[in-house]
């Protein structure tokens, strides 16, 4: 088994989806949600929200990819850097105990997972380790899927956000 990469290593090693046409961020956000924000005239983001993406490739294998959502200075009580909003169908929480290991599985639908407590290793052939504060967009709703396990000797708590307007949602 390979040594798990941290999220920071993922972003320094992988090419970024920086809001170019057809990127997951663009598909997720749509054009009107960005226009609805009070943005500056510059196309350069002030900050980016980084997340990992797990998707199914053309061979049916799950793969990791680093991605970014651009954030711009916005007058949003008080002024802050903010990405466009993605409408959500449901928000819930998921957890499992220390040393839990799951069988390989596909994501039940396209969803964001936000890690709140504990550490999780996810493998698609490569191994990635996610810690509190990390965000993953699960899109491997077909193919062979991925496997997950709790590591670090503690239980895991995650927030799950299921967007209602992303292709592939069910």
113-155 confidence digits (pLDDT tens): 999 999 999 998 899 999 999 999 999 999 999 999 999 899 9
92-110 confidence digits (pLDDT tens): 999 999 999 999 999 999 9
> Domain for residue 14, yes or no?
yes
> Domain for residue 50, yes or no?
yes
Q: What is the DSSP-derived secondary structure letter of residue 137?
A: E
- Please give the residue that has the higher pLDDT: either 41 or 42: 42
> Domain for residue 75, yes or no?
yes
> Domain for residue 105, yes or no?
yes
- Residue 97, classed as helix, strand or coil, is coil
Distance (Å, whole) CA 52 – CA 130: 9
| Domain CATH for 39 | 2.60.120.10
Tokens of 113: 């997972």
What is residue 45's predicted lDDT score, i.e. its pLDDT?
A: 64
% of the chain exceeding 70 in pLDDT? 70
Distances (CA, A) of 42 to 2, 45, 157: 42, 8, 38
Distance (Å, whole) CA 116 – CA 119: 9
What average pLDDT does the chain have? 76
> Domain for residue 89, yes or no?
yes
User: Which residue segment(s) compose the domain that 125 sits in?
Assistant: 7-163
Number of domains in the chain: 1
> Domain for residue 131, yes or no?
yes
What is residue 165's predicted lDDT score, i.e. its pLDDT?
A: 66
> Domain for residue 28, yes or no?
yes
Band of pLDDT at residue 71, cut at 50, 70 and 90: confident
Looking at the predicted structure, is the pLDDT value of residue 32 above 70? no
What does pTM read for this prediction? Answer: 0.64
> Domain for residue 2, yes or no?
no
């Amino acid at each position: 088994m390979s040594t798990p990469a941290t999220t920071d290593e993922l972003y320094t090693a992988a090419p970024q989806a920086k809001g170019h046409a057809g990127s997951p961020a663009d598909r997720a956000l749509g054009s009107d949600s960005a226009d609805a924000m009070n943005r500056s005239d510059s196309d350069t983001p002030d900050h980016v929200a980084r997340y990992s993406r797990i998707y199914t490739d053309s061979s049916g294998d799950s793969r990791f990819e680093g991605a970014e959502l651009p954030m711009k200075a916005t007058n949003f009580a008080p002024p802050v850097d903010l990405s466009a909003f993605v409408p959500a169908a449901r928000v819930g929480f998921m957890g499992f105990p220390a040393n839990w290991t799951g069988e390989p599985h596909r994501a039940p639908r396209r969803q964001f997972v936000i890690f709140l407590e504990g550490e999780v290793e996810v493998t698609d052939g490569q191994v990635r380790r996610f810690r509190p504060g990390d965000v993953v967009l699960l899109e491997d709703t077909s193919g062979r899927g991925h496997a997950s396990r709790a590591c670090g000797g503690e239980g895991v708590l995650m927030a799950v956000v299921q967007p209602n307007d992303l292709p592939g949602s069910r």
